[in-house]
Amino acid sequence: WRDVEFLAAQLSVETERPEARDLPLIAVCGRPNVGKSTLFNRLTGSRRSIVGDEPGITRDRIYGEVEWFGRDARIVDTGGVIPDDEALIPSEIFRQAQVALEEADSIIMVVDGRTELASPDLELARLLLRGGKPVFLAVNKMDTDALLPQAENFRRLGFRNVFPISAEHNGGIGDLMDEVFESLPEPKTHEEEADPDFEETPTEVMMTEEDEEEEDSDGAWIAPPPLTEDQVRDRIEAEQQAAREAYVEPEAPVEVKRPRLLRSHGEHELKETKVAIIGRPNVGKSTLLNALTGTDRAIVSPIAGTTRDAVDEVVERGGHSFRFVDTAGIRRKGKTKLMAEKLSVIMARKHLEAADVSLLIIDATEGVAALDANIGGYAHESGRSVIIVVNKWDLMTKVGKDGMRLWDGKPPVDPKIYEQDVRDALKYLDYAPLLFISALDGKGVDQVFKKVELVSRERRKRVTTGQMNKFLEKVDFQKASVPMNRRVRIYYMTQAAVAPPTFILFTDKDVKMHFSFERFLANQIRDHFGFIGSPIWFKIKARNKK
């Protein structure tokens, strides 16, 4: 009987209606046993694929048809040759993703909501998310309402569209299909609901092959290069290695080395900016990383980082490369809260060392915590440029009918007042631009790229000694509140280095500059020359030793 069923399944592939080939295609991807076939059968209404895998059964690409409110689509179950154990081998992930990305117009990734996320899930999610096609996450086996909150755990995968479903009990499938059909390329038979966000969401941008070619020619967007199986395997191994090492606390604290000072006139040479995403656990670092690398119209390619298990990802945009350092590390999580917090500090220091620019992520719903200030302090001292990114701003702005915020029922806050609170808590980062974003919705993510490019340019700016001395003449040093015995006379000043901009002051006395004097001078320099986002360093050279 099983053989008959198997043959029937194969036959239905062969006997697919020829007209069906013109229909838009939905692909269903996921690990074995998550319920792909069950979902597929529920949608197609016929048994075209076999539920309950037997070892060795081949069911490569089963096609069916699905109708939804008068619209038709084809659907393909990408679950194919499955080895006898539970593991999804890298080539299998790769194959599924490839089928989906090459053939489908819209993709549903299915996970089992009752099991833990595993690295193959992460890998598949990332391959799918960066493909530039609409992707939807179906968290399956959510058979009762009590289980629904569990689906939220899967947001970690980086999908904007998450749907708890029960394929077996027909739960939640309507919402999923509404969205999936909405994303399909075909004249709509029913009126599209006005959704102002719909157009701008990168995951929802429809790209046909012609579009890709067209965009290619004017350089605006190039399709992500396909990864080889070996690359996928390497990355999974790196991910697993990272996971293994995640909970080991290094014996000695990691030292942040000062950056090598650049002596070149680098302002126009810069092609690549190395970016560190830092912050305490759960502020949204991984989500932001996904938004920056996953769904953007850009080349994303993994590159071996500086340390053995580090993987960097490079995004090309408008002729500029953004290299996100140690992306495996950004996704690394500690097991316990304390461990996760310690790990976040160690990671921040390690990542800063490899970067030019850091994104200090703050959770908008929590404000600046002691640990944020701690991590921000390392960023400041490291000499890297800093952008303060206030994430989860969606939660602060979405209000209900009563005008109160949905997530906590409190009145919404003025962003200016909010920013002031953040700045008061992170005083030493007064030079850092501040952005409000929602990594989850992809809002403001574009701004992140723009600001990174800006601060990256600013930190490499060079002021000539002539300009500097003209500026010095105008500075009213009487305004600096500095104790008399700490006052120094500056004869002249020169920029010795860029990245970060470093100035040598030639003075009359060999005394350490007073804190408020240094601050005063830095602010004066900023008013004149910018250096947005970068700390400014000073060195003193005295003419007379005391």
32 near ligand GDP, judged by CB under 6 A:
yes
Of 307-346, binders to ligand GDP (CB under 6 A) are none
Of 375-394, binders to ligand GDP (CB under 6 A) are 391-392, 394
> Do 365 and 350 touch, CB atoms closer than 8 A?
no
Pairing of strands 272-278, 106-112: unpaired
Residues near 452 by beta carbon (within 8 Å), at least 6 away in sequence: 273, 275, 322, 357, 359, 387
Token pair listed for 467:
């300009």
293 near ligand GDP, judged by CB under 6 A:
no
34 in a labelled binding site: yes
Nearest residue to 130 via CA among 153, 107, 155: 107
How far apart CA 279 and CA 391 sit, in angstroms, is 11
400 near ligand GDP, judged by CB under 6 A:
no
Interface pattern 434-473 for ligand GDP (x via CB under 6 A): ----xxx---------------------------------
Stretch that binds ligand GDP, among 34-42, 191-199, 222-230, 447-455 (CB under 6 A): 34-42
Of 9, 27, 34, 184, the one binding ligand GDP by CB under 6 A: 34
141 near ligand GDP, judged by CB under 6 A:
yes
Q: In this complex, which beta carbon is closest to ligand GDP, that of residue 85 or of residue 473?
A: 85
Of 36, 297, 323, 460, the one binding ligand GDP by CB under 6 A: 36
326 in a labelled binding site: yes
Tell me the residue type at 415.
Answer: P
282 near ligand GDP, judged by CB under 6 A:
yes
32 in a labelled binding site: yes
Minimum CB separation from ligand GDP for residue 213, in Å?
34
Local structure of residue 191 (DSSP, 8 states): P
533 in a labelled binding site: no
Of 61, 156, 320, 528, the one binding ligand GDP by CB under 6 A: 156
Q: Which residues is 538 bridged to in the sheet?
A: 503
Local structure of residue 255 (DSSP, 8 states): P
Minimum CB separation from ligand GDP for residue 50, in Å?
8
Q: Per-residue DSSP letters for 472-527? A: HHH--GGGS---GGG---EEEEEEEEBTTTEEEEEESS--PPPHHHHHHHHHHHHH
Of 37, 106, 456, 534, the one binding ligand GDP by CB under 6 A: 37
How far apart CA 234 and CA 294 sit, in angstroms, is 18
327 in a labelled binding site: yes
33 in a labelled binding site: yes
Q: How many amino acids of this chain bind ligand GDP (CB under 6 A)? A: 36
How far apart CA 316 and CA 300 sit, in angstroms, is 7
Q: Per-residue DSSP letters for 261-281? A: PB-S-GGGT--EEEEEEE-ST
Q: Which residue has 């569209």 as its token pair? A: 161
Local structure of residue 227 (DSSP, 8 states): P
110 in a labelled binding site: no
How far apart CA 502 and CA 262 sit, in angstroms, is 10
Q: In this complex, which beta carbon is closest to ligand GDP, that of residue 82 or of residue 180?
A: 82
How far apart CA 127 and CA 252 sit, in angstroms, is 36
Q: In this complex, which beta carbon is closest to ligand GDP, that of residue 368 or of residue 499?
A: 368
Q: In this complex, which beta carbon is closest to ligand GDP, that of residue 316 or of residue 394?
A: 394
Nearest residue to 273 via CA among 16, 482, 451: 451
Nearest residue to 293 via CA among 324, 333, 254: 324
Of 158-187, binders to ligand GDP (CB under 6 A) are 166-169
Token pair listed for 98:
């490839």
405 near ligand GDP, judged by CB under 6 A:
no
250 in a labelled binding site: no
Pairing of strands 272-278, 320-324: parallel
Minimum CB separation from ligand GDP for residue 414, in Å?
19
Show the 3-state SS of 427-476: HHHCCCCEEECECCCCECHHHHHHHHHHHHHHCCCCCCHHHHHHHHHHCC
Minimum CB separation from ligand GDP for residue 417, in Å?
20
Give the H/E segment covering residue 23: none
Pairing of strands 300-304, 311-317: antiparallel
516 in a labelled binding site: no
Tell me the residue type at 375.
Answer: I
Between vectors from CA 378 to CA 375 and to CA 384, what angle results, nearest 5°? Answer: 115
Of 39-78, binders to ligand GDP (CB under 6 A) are 51-53
284 near ligand GDP, judged by CB under 6 A:
yes
Of 24, 35, 90, 305, the one binding ligand GDP by CB under 6 A: 35
Minimum CB separation from ligand GDP for residue 415, in Å?
15
Stretch that binds ligand GDP, among 139-147, 203-211, 415-423, 480-488 (CB under 6 A): 139-147
Minimum CB separation from ligand GDP for residue 189, in Å?
29
Stretch that binds ligand GDP, among 9-17, 35-43, 243-251, 454-462 (CB under 6 A): 35-43
533 near ligand GDP, judged by CB under 6 A:
no
How far apart CA 440 and CA 438 sit, in angstroms, is 5
Of 44, 96, 98, 287, the one binding ligand GDP by CB under 6 A: 287
Nearest residue to 456 via CA among 317, 326, 347: 317
155 near ligand GDP, judged by CB under 6 A:
yes
Of 5, 72, 143, 446, the one binding ligand GDP by CB under 6 A: 143
Annotated binding residues for GTP, written as ranges, equal 30-37, 77-81, 140-143, 279-286, 326-330, 391-394
Q: Which residues bind ligand GDP (CB under 6 A)?
A: 30, 32-38, 51-53, 79, 140-141, 143, 155-156, 166-169, 279, 281-287, 391-392, 394-395, 438-440
Annotated binding residues, written as ranges, equal 30-37, 77-81, 140-143, 279-286, 326-330, 391-394
